Amino acid sequence: MSNTQVFKLSPAAAQKLRAELNEAGFEFRKLQHALFQARGEGVVASMYRSGKLVVQGSGAEAWHVRYLGATETVKTKEKSVAAPEGLPDIADSFGSDEAGKGDTFGGLTVCAVAVPAESSELLMSSRVADSKSLNDDLIGTLSPWIKENFPFALRVLGPAEYNQRWQEAGSNVNKLLAQLHFECLKELHDRCGFLNAVVDRFSPSAPVSSRLRVVAPQMKVVEVPRAERHAAVAAASVIARDAFLTNMQELSQQWAMDFPLGSGAPVPRAMRKFLQLHSAGDMQQVTKIHFKNVQTFLAGN
């Protein structure tokens, strides 16, 4: 088999996985020293009584994301979003992340999620992972589930409000991000009182830590790149991404056209189409008006 991954599952997670694989139509076989072996979707998954799950096959990577989005990989010795090395334990922690920062169209969303100790295993055994590794359909399924099971705080800025608040922040994106992360984490701290937080770093100056230190001096805030390794941040990334995608859909309905994600090749074509339907003055209602590509386009049109 072309790919092998090994995971460690709790008894509850193993039972939940078996039920999901059975529902998905996997073929089950008996295997010595194993609770079960399931075959299907290009993989063979063997769940041993020791708690180790061995997944083999060409589809192992995609299978991992779909069924074990937040489970530690034992084989590679890397820590998953559930138990990241060097970061606070998931129990009684906060995590925050943003979405939309690099997209020309649309605004910006920031979310923070709290993970109470009694709910940490629930999140660790779920499919929640960094939203960049999940498709939009799965994000749309996971986001309501996270909201239902975990405390969260969310800020959604449409393009017009984003442009206004960007100006109020001294035309500085990092200052705006720091304020939004601060608002979300302070709201959760006031509600839950947890003292550990992990933030997906967007500035080397750790501005979120500085702001929270003033109002909650006992809090330990860690700002690191790729913080989605931490389950609380991964959960926040899913909600933030789902809120951003929802806002983009609302913009499309409001302005009668489809807006592309990102800032790549489709964006100039979309801006030209937008000017055919609307005025240049309306551009600040749908784009981050300070982006260089927007300014260049408007200067030429």
Sheet of strand 196-200: strand arrangement: 152-157, 108-115, 93-99, 196-200, 220-224
Q: What was the pLDDT predicted at 187? A: 96
The answer on pLDDT for 74 being more than 80 is no
User: Could you give the residue ranges of the DSSP H alpha helices within the chain?
Assistant: 11-23, 60-67, 120-124, 136-149, 159-168, 173-192, 207-215, 231-255, 266-277, 292-300
Do residues 178 and 192 both lie within one domain? yes
The verdict on 255 and 228 lying in the same domain is no
In a domain, residue 158? The reply is yes
Helices (H), 106-230: 120-124, 136-149, 159-168, 173-192, 207-215
Q: What residues contact residue 39 under an 8 Å CB cut-off, 6+ apart?
A: 26, 27, 28, 29, 45
Tell me whether residue 234 is in a domain.
Answer: yes
Residue 192: strand, helix, or coil: helix
Residue 200 DSSP SS3: strand
Residue 255 lies in a domain: yes
Q: H or E element: which one contains 45? A: strand 43-48
Domain boundary among 67, 85, 109: 67
Dihedral sign for Cα atoms in the order 28, 31, 37, 39: negative
- Looking at residue 4, what is its pLDDT? 67
β-strands 93-99, 196-200 pairing: parallel
Give the pLDDT confidence score for residue 292 in this predicted structure. 95
Say yes or no: 280 and 160 in one domain. no
Shared domain for 243 and 264, answered yes or no, is no
Residues 188 and 206 in one domain: yes
Position 218, amino acid: Q
CA distance 158 to 64: 34
Q: Is residue 73 part of a domain?
A: no
Contact residues for 118 (Cβ-Cβ < 8 A; gap 6+): none
Where is pLDDT greater, at 192 or 41?
A: 192
* pLDDT tens digit sequence for 158-191: 999 999 999 999 999 999 999 999 999 999 999 9
Strands 220-224 and 196-200: parallel
* Pair 241, 293 in one domain: no
| Percent of the chain residues past pLDDT 70, beyond the cut | 93
Tell me what pLDDT residue 84 has.
Answer: 59
Residues 22, 141 within the same domain: no
Token pair recorded at residue 1: 């088999």
- Measured distance CA(253)–CA(234) in Å, rounded: 29
Q: Is residue 82 part of a domain?
A: no
174 and 119 in a common domain: yes
Contact 178, 213 (CB under 8 A): no
77 found inside a domain: no
Q: Give me the mean pLDDT over the 220-243 stretch.
A: 94
pLDDT attached to residue 47? 87
Structural domain for 292, as ranges = 249-300
Q: What is the pLDDT at residue 296? A: 95
Same domain, 258 and 295: yes
| Residues 213, 112 share a domain | yes
CB atoms under 10 Å from CB of 23, counted, come to 8
Same domain, 243 and 165: yes
Q: Which of 169 and 61 is assigned the larger pLDDT?
A: 169
pLDDT at residue 125, as a whole number: 77
Considering the domain architecture, whether residues 21 and 160 belong to the same structural domain is answered as: no
Which two tokens mark 140?
Answer: 């749309």
Mean pLDDT of the chain: 88
pLDDT class of 34 with cuts at 50, 70, 90: confident
Query: Considering its fold, how many domains does the chain have in total?
Result: 3
